[in-house]
Amino acid sequence: MIATRESRLAQWQAHFVRDALARLYPSCRVEILGMTTRGDRVLDGSLAKMGGKGLFVKELEAALADGRADIAVHSAKDVPMELADGFRLASILAREDPRDCLVSPRYARLQELPDGAIVGTSSLRREAQLRERHPKIEIRPLRGNIDTRVAKLDHGDFDAIVLASAGLKRLGLGSRIRAMLEPEESLPAPGQGALAIECSGERSDLADWLAPLGDAATAACVRAERAVSRSLSGSCQLPLGAFAEARGGELVLRGLVATADGARVIRAEARGDVRQPEALGERLAQALRAKGADAILAAIHGG
């Protein structure tokens, strides 16, 4: 049994994993348990103020703990950097396009947006990078699933919105993308574009069963990215980006920490052995601290 959120994207992801398992194990019947999480129910506030990305996984973990489900499928970027005790990420699948993108009925590029244009985003990370490069646009919060966000744009609530391209592409909405934002312009969130499968830490049998679904290069990248955020106590309250690319036996990892207003953005890059992704992530976090990330962290946490 696969536990998943009930949004159209989450259902797509769960069915994708179910179909992959059916191809691997034709005699095994895999069913899907749709669930509504607190993060889905409460749409009138920011994730940062409500408790962060864990709002999207706690109910699914409860289903794993009480035996209603065997595995849970998540967008890797929604998985808290510190998993709850008793759970593990058993498999990280090959990544879809990790980049952010611009969706707008009128403007083909961010540079075309006039002063005062209203741009919607759900992410402090995106907001900080937008404010850094485009200080004269107006940024407003945008919550809800992908269909809801696009509908708000089409209704005229926004001139443009910035989303992860992976979700649009998976739902057949790739034609709505007006421009891809390269990592130099909008560094992605840790794990963006990848799917992660979670199970009980005691179910080594499931971990072995799920292993063939994993992609080694993507897993190394995601683990390095998550290590950056974990080392910096990353959460929705911290505008933080981390993005790794596997180049042969090497990982190239970029990271940033910013103030929410984009007035200060600290960037760093590190390279290391693809077999030691967590160590690379921790090294990059230290490089960000050396450039002043601690001051931003202290201000955010009231230190």
pLDDT digits (tens, 9 = 90+) for 208-225: 999 999 999 999 999 999
Least confident of 30-44, 61-75, 151-165: 30-44
Number of domains in the chain: 3
Paired with 254 in beta bridges are 243, 269
Domain extent at residue 37: 1-95+194-214
Helix axes 8-24, 146-154, angle to 10 degrees: 140
What amino acid positions are annotated as catalytic residues?
78
Q: Look up residue 98 and give its amino acid.
A: P
Same structural domain for residues 75 and 121? no
Say if residues 285 and 234 touch (Cβ distance below 8 Å): no
Contacting residues for 156 by C-beta, under 8 A, at least 6 apart? none
CA distance 29 to 24: 11
Same structural domain for residues 109 and 172? yes
pLDDT value at position 299?
Answer: 80
pLDDT value at position 39?
Answer: 53
Same structural domain for residues 84 and 203? yes
Q: How confident is the model at residue 268 (pLDDT cuts 50, 70, 90)?
A: very high
Say if residues 99 and 214 touch (Cβ distance below 8 Å): no
pLDDT value at position 238?
Answer: 83
Contacting residues for 118 by C-beta, under 8 A, at least 6 apart? 137, 138, 139, 140, 157, 158, 159, 160
Same structural domain for residues 129 and 271? no
The mean pLDDT of 131-155, rounded to a whole number, is 95
| Percent of the chain whose pLDDT exceeds 70 | 91
Same structural domain for residues 141 and 209? no
Q: Do the domain assignments include residue 189?
A: no
Q: How confident is the model at residue 302 (pLDDT cuts 50, 70, 90)?
A: low
| Percent of the chain whose pLDDT exceeds 90 | 79
The mean pLDDT of 85-105, rounded to a whole number, is 96
pLDDT value at position 234?
Answer: 55
Q: Is the pLDDT of residue 282 over 60?
A: yes
Paired with 265 in beta bridges are 258
Whole-model pTM: value is 0.90
Same structural domain for residues 91 and 5? yes
DSSP 234: -
Q: Which residue has the higher pLDDT, 132 or 298?
A: 132
Q: Do the domain assignments include residue 187?
A: no
Can you give the CATH number for the domain in which 7 is found?
3.40.190.10
Same structural domain for residues 207 and 70? yes
In total, the chain counts a number of residues equal to 303
**How many angstroms from the chain centroid is the CA of residue 173?**
18
Q: How confident is the model at residue 116 (pLDDT cuts 50, 70, 90)?
A: very high
The mean pLDDT of 66-75, rounded to a whole number, is 94
Q: Is the pLDDT of residue 198 over 60?
A: yes
Q: Do the domain assignments include residue 186?
A: no
Same structural domain for residues 44 and 3? yes
Mean pLDDT, the chain, whole residue set? 91
Say whether 49 sits in a helix, a strand or coil. helix
The per-residue pLDDT for range 233-244, each reduced to its tens digit, is 755 578 999 999
**How many angstroms from the chain centroid is the CA of residue 137?**
24
Same structural domain for residues 239 and 293? yes
Same structural domain for residues 247 and 209? no
Q: Is the pLDDT of residue 303 over 90?
A: no
pLDDT value at position 38?
Answer: 59
The per-residue pLDDT for range 22-63, each reduced to its tens digit, is 999 999 999 999 987 655 555 455 444 444 555 668 889 999
**How many angstroms from the chain centroid is the CA of residue 282?**
19
pLDDT value at position 50?
Answer: 45
